[in-house]
Copies of this chain bind each other. A is one copy, B any other.
Amino acid sequence: MLSKKTQYAFHALIHLAENADKGPILISEIAQEKSISIKFLENILLELKNAGILGSKKGKGGGYYLLKTPKEIPLAKIIRLLDGAIALLPCVSLNYYERCENCRDEAVCGLNDVMSKVRDATLKILENKTLKDILTRNVSIL
Interface of A toward B, CB cutoff 8 Å: 1-2, 7, 10-11, 14, 34-35, 75, 84-85, 87-90, 101-102, 105, 108-111, 113-114, 117-118, 121-122, 124-126, 129, 133-138, 140-141
Contacts and interface: CB of A to CB of B under 8 A. Distances in A.
How many copies of the polypeptide does the oligomer hold?
2
A110 B84 contact: no
A126 B118 contact: yes
Contacts of A1: 84-85, 87-90
Nearest to A6: B88
A11 to B, nearest CB: 7
A114 B90 contact: no
Nearest to A34: B102
